[in-house]
Structure 1
Amino acid sequence: MITVDHLTKSYGRFTAVDDVSFACRPGTVTGFLGPNGAGKTTTMRVMVGLTPATRGSVTIGGLDYHQIPNPGRHVGVLLDASAQHAGRTGREVLTIGAQTMGLPRTRVDEMLALVGLSPEESRRRIKNYSLGMRQRLGIAHALLGDPSVLILDEPANGLDPAGIRWMRDLLKSYADRGGTVLLSSHLLHEVEQIADEMILIGHGRIVAQGDRATLLEGSDGVQTLVTSLDNAALATALADGGHRVESAGAGLRVHATAEAVGRAALSAGVVLTDLRSGGAGLEDLFLELTSATQRDPLTEGTPR
């Protein structure tokens, strides 16, 4: 369990993290989303004792990170895949970690196999690793001590599509076994697929949090595109049910869930020929809520 309580981190007059509170529960993956400079990495650095908080606190399992005995056995951390000594081999990095945590050397081979680094790759120096290989090594190091909590900053960065799917399955399986995962990422589509809870942060403040349905509930993101054999009758049934209906090509755009549209069609005896989500989705909601903090302006059309 990770508990962040009114956390603030300031550097002089600049406030990187501003009164942030949230919790990450066992058995869940929590996505931590925000533009560059929003405060995600600073929050994670405070969690693992690398940056002192100005105010507030972060506890893991009820303890400050520096109070946890042999912390690598309880908290797995990946904040920068390129932070390892470039002159060491991947196997050497994991062997040093295992010795530090009091783990048998067999654990090194287990982790190399788990993340898909071959014996030949494990003997290469890290300076010759691709970014994707460094990410796999970093995840192996985070999992080395069989921790109950994982804190990962952009772990999919540099992975190819197969690697991203592998990581997604790995983290989901870890959470299903009762682990707690805090995952920061700019790959919003991937976060949608893996995260049970999502926290959106901008200018160091939380702008929204909850599961996907909660975040989109009550916004224009909850929309359904539908086509039927009698759109007029369906539109009337939906309007009578209190749903906003608009024409959309050969069908209708309804500000309601697909389930609500289906139930209205059933009650009206209308046959549907197409029913699908028409919502803006998490990415659009994210951009809307953090538009003031985006580094690059959002413009329509193409530059001339």
Structure 2
Amino acid sequence: MIEVRNLSKSYGDFRAVDDVSFVCQPGRVTGFLGPNGAGKSTAMRMITGLTRPSSGSATIGGAHYADIPNPATQVGVLLDASAQHGGRTGREVLTIGARAMGLPGSRVDEMLALVGLTPKEAKRRVRNYSLGMRQRLGIAHALLGDPKVLILDEPANGLDPAGIHWMRQLLREYANRGGTVMLSSHLLHEIQIIADDLIVIGHGRIVASGTKDELLRTAGTRVRAHDRAALLQALKSAGLEATEASDAITSPATPEQVGLAAAAAGVPLLELREADGAGLEAMFLQLTADDQRDLISSEGAQA
């Protein structure tokens, strides 16, 4: 189990992580989501002892990472697949890790087979690996000590579709055996498929947390009208948030709130229903709207 309590990190006047609290449970995959710069990586670095918190605490199995004996046998970590020594072979990277953990050499062969790196690939220098191969090697290293907890930052980055499918099955089976998985990724579709629980962070603060089913059930409202601009203005005038989708508008407000706002403005509606089918992407964009740098307003698009 991972327990984070009132965790904060400041760099001068900048608050990268601001009073964050959450729990990642055994037997479950927890998706840790947020836009670039939201504080995800800083939080994960504090959990794994790489960054000292300004305040608060983060424990794994009841202990701080630095206090865990032979921690790699308890916690598997992959925060940056490109941080591996480029001059070593893949086999050498895992062999050094196995020796440091006191593991037999046979464990190296087991992990190479598990992540699909062939004997020929294992003899190549890491500098000559593709990003996807480095990810596989990083996952092998994280699993080397047969840990109870996995903390992975963007592990699917660089993997092809078959590799993503393989990783999804690997993490699902790991959690089903009782392991705790904390997974950060920008591939929202993959998170929606694999995650049991979700934590969404924006501007260094938790903006939503709960089971995936709970959060997606409360994803808000889907609404359509012939006059989309008038509908957007009606929702804005009523103080309701709204996001334009391909053929509709979604809002974190309830259908009743949206319907009353449209009626008050005299905007006829073509569709009004709960956005339970909107999916994780719509929920993510709604919850982190104030933290997005790439959203284009309808006015800006027309300029």
What's the TM-score, normalizing by structure 1? 0.81
1:207-231 Cα shifts (integer Å, max 9, x gaps): 00112221133442589xxxxxxxx
Tell me by how many angstroms 1:288 deviates: 1.2
CA contact (8 A) 1:89 1:124 kept: yes
Cα pair 1:4 1:58 within 8 Å, conserved: yes
5+ residue gaps in structure 2?
224-254, 260-269
Q: Partners of 2:301 and 2:124 in 1: how far apart?
A: 44
Mapped to 2, the partners of 1:197 and 1:278 lie a distance apart of 17
1:278 to partner: Cα distance: 6.6
Separation in 2, partners of 1:85, 1:281: 39
Q: After TM superposition, list the pairs within 5 Å mapping 1:63-212 onto structure 2.
A: 63-212=63-212
Q: CA deviation at 1:85?
A: 0.7
Alpha-carbon distance between aligned partners in 2 of 1:222 and 1:58, rounded to the nearest angstrom: 38
Counterpart pick for 1:255 among 259, 270, 273: 273
Q: CA deviation at 1:279?
A: 2.7
The answer to whether 1:288 aligns with 2:292 is no
Task: Give the whole-Å Cα distance in 2 for the aligned partners of 1:196 and 1:211.
Answer: 6
C-alpha RMSD of the superposition: 2.1
Aligned pair count reads: 260
| Preserved CA contact (<8 Å) 2:47 2:65 | yes
For residues 272 and 295 of structure 2, the distance between their equivalents in structure 1, rounded to whole angstroms, comes to 30
In 2, distance between residues paired with 1:296 and 1:20? 25
Aligned to 1:24: 24
Query: What do the CA deviations read for 1:95-153 (whole angstroms, capped 9, x no partner)?
Result: 00000000000000000000000000000001100000000000000000000000000
Gaps of 5+ in 1: 224-242, 247-251, 257-276
TM-score (norm 2): 0.81
Distance 1:254 1:16 in 2: 38
Deviation at 1:254, TM superposition (A): 6.0
> Deviation of residue 280 (structure 1)?
1.9
Corresponding residue SS for 1:82? helix
Mapped pair 1:297 → 2:295: yes
Query: How far apart, in 1, do the equivalents of 2:161 and 2:190 lie?
Result: 10
**Do the aligned residues in 2 keep the contact of 1:49 with 1:65 (CA within 8 Å)?**
yes
1:193–1:219 Cα change, 3 Å: closer
Residue 282 (structure 1) shift = 1.2
Match of 1:48 in 2: 48
The answer (yes or no) to whether the contact 1:221–1:279 under 8 Å persists in 2 is no
Q: Distance in 2 between matches of 1:78 and 1:121?
A: 20
Task: Decide whether the 8 Å contact of 2:132 with 2:158 is kept in 1.
Answer: yes
Structure number, greater radius of gyration: 1
Say if 1:279 and 1:77 are closer, same or farther in 2 by CA, change over 3 A. same
CA distance in 2, matches of 1:282, 1:188: 7
Instruction: Describe the shift of the 1:303–1:70 C-alpha distance in structure 2 as closer, same or farther (beyond 3 A).
Output: farther
Inter-partner Cα distance in structure 2 for 1:51 and 1:120: 37
**2-side partners of 1:280 and 1:100: how far apart?**
47
Structure 2 CA distance for aligned equivalents of residues 302 and 158 of structure 1: 31
Task: Kindly provide the CA deviation profile for residues 181-223 of structure 1, in whole angstroms up to 9, marking residues without a partner as x.
Answer: 0000000010000000000000000000112221133442589
Distance (Å, rounded) in 2 between the aligned partners of 1:283 and 1:81: 26
Aligned AA (2:278): A
CA gap of 1:219–1:154, structure 2 versus 1, over 3 A, is closer
Query: Which string of whole-angstrom CA distances, capped at 9 and with x for unpartnered residues, describes residues 17-71 of structure 1?
Result: 0000000010000000000010000001001110000000000000000110000
